[in-house]
A and B are shown apart, each in its own frame.
Chain A
Amino acid sequence: MKHRRNDIENHKKKYHGLQRVIMGVILRSKWFSMLLLFCMMGSVVFTLIPPLVLERVVDGLTVGASVTLQLAFLYFGTLVISGLLDAVKEMLITIFGQKITHGLRSEMCHKLSHIHASYFIQQESGKTTSRMVNDVDTVEQLFTQGIIGMGVDVCKVLSIIVVIFTKSRGLGVLLLITAPILFLITRIFQRKMLTAQMKNRVAIGKVTKFIPETIANIRTIHCLVKEKYMEDRYDESIQESYHAVNRANIYDSLYSPIVMLIRAVLVGTLMVLSVMNGQAQQFFGMSVGTAVAIIAYVGKVFAPIESIGMEIQNIQSAVAGVKRINELLEEREKPQMADEVQKERWIDENEELRKRVQMPTEAKRDNKWKEQMQRTTQTDEPRTSGVAFSQVTFSYDGEQTILEELSLSIALGEHVTLAGRTGAGKSTIFRLLLGLYAPQKGSIYVMGRRAHEIPDQEKRKIFGYVEQSFHMIAGTVADQISLHDDAITMEQIQAAAKLVGLHQQILQLPEGYQSQCKRELFSQGQFQLLSIARAVVADPQIMLLDEITANLDSVTEQKVLEALERAASGRTVISISHRLYERENNRMIMIES
């Protein structure tokens, strides 16, 4: 068991993050990858052929030979094959790119389940979402429009240059001189455009932030008569974006015409040189058919050079995305592994225990073993009570200690209020209880088990957590209460809704409990009630009531209060300085930092 896990871990270390996902996709679909490679090569070769056929046609015409129907069909045939190969290549690249995005997003989602809770508290959710949506999209582009495309384009350019060399050495040399210049110009333009675009993106970022902020602060803006001020500031940002875009536009408008001009100069020069006498004749001389073919090739070589520049840019911009994705994939994980691994660990530990029992002498030398024994024998008392903190020390960052040597115990059925200033650690106590964090020192027992070792599927039976504010999830009204939990029946959902007094109102919705939940369906206070229903639906033993941040009007405040009282009855209740749930007979626990 352990060995296999080590293997997996080694594999994980060898290829981490993105690399691992991509290697996985390539290895899993070997035939597919080969076919893709074949199509790419075929597409390069078949770009070269049509001009050669054309050369023969024109050369035939100059000497007065008529063109056979076969030759006409040959020309068309090569076009068809080239087109078909392109089509298949495009299709395969699309599929390949999508496989990678799928794999990557799966991996990231899986990571979310294992990531340390602090990540969600520190990181704005928008940023993480953008990593999973936008950054993964750029990685897809990195493949489809970056690496793969660049491979094809480089091959195209090289092979066209080779063919041109065989046709006209002079033009070959001319091209070898022009191509790097063209490439350089391309890069300069693209870089300038990128800088301008980045500036624009920063400005647009400001603009986008400005809108939700305006909405949130609208009252202050009106009260202080700052409408004009806000408009000016907004205009300032869009103006910044305007100038950046305009800059990018100048480069964008110039680039392609310049390339076309270079092409014309090249063709003109070549034609003049081709009719020169003497040495130039040797170097540049060609037949009429070759001239036609070569003009076609020059046209063909410019497009991939242009694309290579773009592909380099795609790759560059994707690098930042790749970095951000890897950052997420390498984030610290939560204190206990997922349930599966945790079970394995339990089995391992038990096995070890059994072994040790058989070999007592060896065990004695092992300190860890001693601790184990103490853990199982010593603290019977806290294990049986409802909640027990014994000498808990905790810090988020290892520097600032939030809780020091905190001991408290709450009996089953007791109602307790945690009081203390902001920052004293009241919310931290909840986070520890819920197993989001593990303490550095001391132990926390909930119903006789270590808090952070309570498996996921039992959590709802133990805790009913009413969060500071309601988190609306995607789904129906019923889903808001059940959280998509299949183990919860419709009867339970309705019972919970009745308890908080929302049942009638939900039934009045067009599709009742199955209505898609939207912000406008409920008021803030009613969402608070839904939050309570969500907490009680699985009939938990301990209610955790966090401070309510919502600004409720007095009528709904009263309703929330009543719902809380009904939800609390018959349960152990721990509340944080709750505006609405302060009962005189509650035991107060002072938390001081």
Chain B
Amino acid sequence: MTMHRQKADSMETMEIKRPDQLLSYFRRELVPLFIVFLTGMIYNIGLTATPFFEGQLVQRLYDIIKGEKTIGTMFFLATLYIVIILFVQGARALKRYYVRKFANNTSRNMRHMLYNQLVHSSKKELNEDTVGTLMTKAVADVDACVEGMRKFTTEVFDTGVALVSYLVMLFLYDWRLALLSSMFTLVAYVIAEKMKTVVYRYHTAYKKSAENLEDATMDRVENAITYRVFGQENARDLEYEKSLTDYEKKAVMANIWENTLRPIYYILSMTGVVSIIYFGAGNVMGTGWTTWDIAAFTTFLSCFTKMAQKSSRAAKLFNAVQKAQVSWKRIKPLMKAYVKVDEQTEKVFGQRITLTMDHITFSYEPGKTIIRDLSFHAEPGEVIGITGEVACGKSTLGKLFLGEEAYQGNILIGDRELRTFSDYERNQYISYMGHQPELMSDTLQENIAMGGKESVTSYLQAVCLEQEVDEMPEGSLTHMGSSGTRFSGGQQARVALARTLYHKRRVLVLDDPFSAVDQKTEQRIMAHLRQMNQDSILLLISHRVTLFPTFEQIIWMEKGRCYVGTHQDLIRDHENYAKIFHAQQAGGDLDEA
């Protein structure tokens, strides 16, 4: 783990210039690519060594049987053959490794860049532009793209160079026979080229059907309960059966066109073998175009067979490139310059500071004002309760501190307007905790500290979670499950609160932190909050007001108007506030919502 961490740290300086150009990624990997080039050339030219030496070995056997050569020469030849193959295959092993290393590096770099973009996207971008889904898909695309890049690099050598070497070899032995026999290979290749569009069409139809089926499956499973409670299960099953039938048809067709044709192409390109055997034998008999020995005959034949096999796979090169292009097209717009949090600031954080709201007015769309003309001032150590009727905009008020929306009026932290802060500065002054606990699938400890070194124990105490955690076998190292779902809603909310306190700033904005805890716990947590925040300002948004009498100031929101005062003031002046307060006091512990 620590080793990985160190290595990961070494990646942090990694920035890719022009990440939106595919060439940048090739350029980064020049060393492995150079090795691939060198070994790829050696291997593919060396490929001809196998048929050549095997021909020579057979010839030597013939010569020895005829008594023209000694046994020792066979030993020498066989050893040479093995050594050459060792060299060629060694080059091949290196080529294979470096091609894969290149792909692996590139995949890591692309993912690294993508995640950097994601983590610096704003909530709004992620919500609205479906950047979220795009990002999720992009990660799958990285795999496809890199796989395509790898195959392209591989096939350039394994198909391109290999085909050329085989052809050169054939032409050296007998150019007329080479021409005659490889004509059929050419024909097969041309037909394969022509058929490619058909194959591609069936393949696309198949992929589309597979996608549909996956969507249908997801829909059927994810919404199973919905379909069940609305009595639609049987109808859905029939629909699903339709997708299945379609998928079966398309899959069979695509596979038949793709796999069944390959043996046919092979047969076609092997047609040349008739001429090789017939005229080649003539060459050996001395009645053909040139004079051959047995070695030449077998080498020529096996070279030709290998070439036919290769060329029936030549279409792969094209496919790999095309697939990579499609994936890259989707990733490209997401690949932007590496982003770093701008931490430059002249401000000194951590000092006691005041908060002033001066004539704040806010609306999402013109004409529908949600917050109208709110003004108040708070000193360090104060707790300000914010409440109102359902849908009054109290959460919106909290969100203004996130800098996500534009407001009228001024929010002053000390004497500086919040708008003028950089994201980094704002986040150094303000802690915000929303409705959602926003937990990670990690241990309890990591969820609170998020990389911090300080112990979490005192924060667990503060949110009254210590006892429950102690009872867990693994204590604060208990894994919280994906998005924290192994914990109950109340526990999740308290972990989130502990996390906020752990990273506490001078202004804390807590939106409904107690909605899932009972009143006694609420009281105890509140007492801890008071104790811990003597130097900070605490804005507490809540629909539960039983603790409000103990707060320094209350903001009561009603029909777009905001009223600021002490609890007594509001009880006296605002009938609805008083009504809610009394109703909740009477409701006692059981009242929850």
**A238 contact from B85, B112, B240, B261, Cβ within 8 A:** B112
Segment 206-250 of A: residues with Cβ below 8 Å from B: 207-232, 234-236, 238-243, 245-246, 249-250
When chains A and B are docked, how far (Å) is the Cα of A72 from the Cα of B281?
Answer: 10
Interface membership of A361, Cβ < 8 A: no
Interface membership of B172, Cβ < 8 A: no
Specify which chain B residues have a CB less than 8 angstroms from the CB of A228 in the assembled complex.
12, 341
**B217 contact from A58, A132, A222, A292, Cβ within 8 A:** A132
Specify which chain A residues have a CB less than 8 angstroms from the CB of B260 in the assembled complex.
87-88, 90-91
**Distance of B95 from chain A, by nearest CB (Å):** 8
Cβ A272 vs Cβ B218 within 8 A:
no
With A232-B8, A580-B391 as given contacts, are A253 and B97 in contact (CB-CB < 8 Å)?
Answer: yes
Specify which chain A residues have a CB less than 8 angstroms from the CB of B274 in the assembled complex.
69, 72-73, 75-76
Interface membership of A320, Cβ < 8 A: no
Query: Which of A133, A256, A268, A551 has its CB near the most chain B CB atoms (within 10 A)?
Result: A268
**B518 contact from A69, A419, A421, Cβ within 8 A:** A421
Interface membership of B60, Cβ < 8 A: yes
Cβ B392 vs Cβ A261 within 8 A:
no
With A91-B256, A209-B441, A436-B229 as given contacts, are A288 and B101 in contact (CB-CB < 8 Å)?
Answer: no
When chains A and B are docked, how far (Å) is the Cα of A512 from the Cα of B436?
Answer: 34
**A261 contact from B11, B86, B136, B240, Cβ within 8 A:** B86
**A577 contact from B277, B368, B592, Cβ within 8 A:** B592
**Distance of B171 from chain A, by nearest CB (Å):** 21
Taken residue by residue from 86 to 102, chain B's Cβ proximity to chain A (1 for < 8 Å, 0 otherwise) reads as 10011011111100110
Specify which chain A residues have a CB less than 8 angstroms from the CB of B321 in the assembled complex.
none
Interface membership of A6, Cβ < 8 A: no
Closest residue of chain B to A547 (Cβ to Cβ) is B593
**A253 contact from B100, B220, B593, Cβ within 8 A:** B100
**Distance of A114 from chain B, by nearest CB (Å):** 9
**Distance of A61 from chain B, by nearest CB (Å):** 5
Q: Looking at chain B, what size class is its interface with the partner chain?
A: 35 or more
Count of interface residues, chain A, beta-carbon cutoff 8 Å: 153
**Distance of B15 from chain A, by nearest CB (Å):** 12
Cβ A456 vs Cβ B234 within 8 A:
yes
Chain B interface, >50% SS class: helix
Interface membership of A128, Cβ < 8 A: yes
Interface membership of B251, Cβ < 8 A: yes
Interface membership of B438, Cβ < 8 A: yes
When chains A and B are docked, how far (Å) is the Cα of A238 from the Cα of B105?
Answer: 10
Interface membership of B227, Cβ < 8 A: yes
Specify which chain A residues have a CB less than 8 angstroms from the CB of B219 in the assembled complex.
473-474
Cβ A223 vs Cβ B432 within 8 A:
yes
When chains A and B are docked, how far (Å) is the Cα of A457 from the Cα of B233?
Answer: 10
Taken residue by residue from 207 to 229, chain B's Cβ proximity to chain A (1 for < 8 Å, 0 otherwise) reads as 00000011111111111111111
Chain A interface, >50% SS class: helix
Taken residue by residue from 536 to 571, chain A's Cβ proximity to chain B (1 for < 8 Å, 0 otherwise) reads as 000000000001000111110110010000000000
Interface membership of B526, Cβ < 8 A: no
Specify which chain B residues have a CB less than 8 angstroms from the CB of A208 in the assembled complex.
139
**Distance of A118 from chain B, by nearest CB (Å):** 11
Interface membership of B104, Cβ < 8 A: yes
Cβ A57 vs Cβ B231 within 8 A:
no
Taken residue by residue from 272 to 311, chain A's Cβ proximity to chain B (1 for < 8 Å, 0 otherwise) reads as 1011110000000001100110011000000000000000
Cβ A125 vs Cβ B100 within 8 A:
no
Query: Which of A60, A83, A276, A580 has its CB near the most chain B CB atoms (within 10 A)?
Result: A83
**A129 contact from B64, B130, B217, B396, Cβ within 8 A:** B217
Cβ A268 vs Cβ B218 within 8 A:
no
With A58-B298, A260-B89, A291-B58 as given contacts, are A214 and B263 in contact (CB-CB < 8 Å)?
Answer: no
**Distance of A9 from chain B, by nearest CB (Å):** 21
**A264 contact from B82, B221, B252, Cβ within 8 A:** B82
Cβ A222 vs Cβ B263 within 8 A:
no
Interface membership of A362, Cβ < 8 A: no
With A207-B111, A229-B450, A249-B104 as given contacts, are A132 and B9 in contact (CB-CB < 8 Å)?
Answer: no
Taken residue by residue from 364 to 377, chain B's Cβ proximity to chain A (1 for < 8 Å, 0 otherwise) reads as 11001010000000
With A133-B214, A213-B483 as given contacts, are A76 and B271 in contact (CB-CB < 8 Å)?
Answer: yes
Segment 459-515 of A: residues with Cβ below 8 Å from B: 459-460, 463, 465, 467, 471, 473-474, 483-486
With A219-B402, A252-B100, A554-B393 as given contacts, are A269 and B58 in contact (CB-CB < 8 Å)?
Answer: no
The 5 A-B residue pairs with the shortest CB-CB distance, nearest first, are A459-B231, A557-B391, A253-B96, A67-B281, A456-B231
Of the A-B pairs whose beta carbons lie under 8 Å apart in the complex, a sample of 11, sorted by A's number, is A57-B281, A69-B274, A71-B277, A83-B263, A94-B252, A224-B499, A234-B119, A239-B11, A241-B108, A242-B104, A580-B390
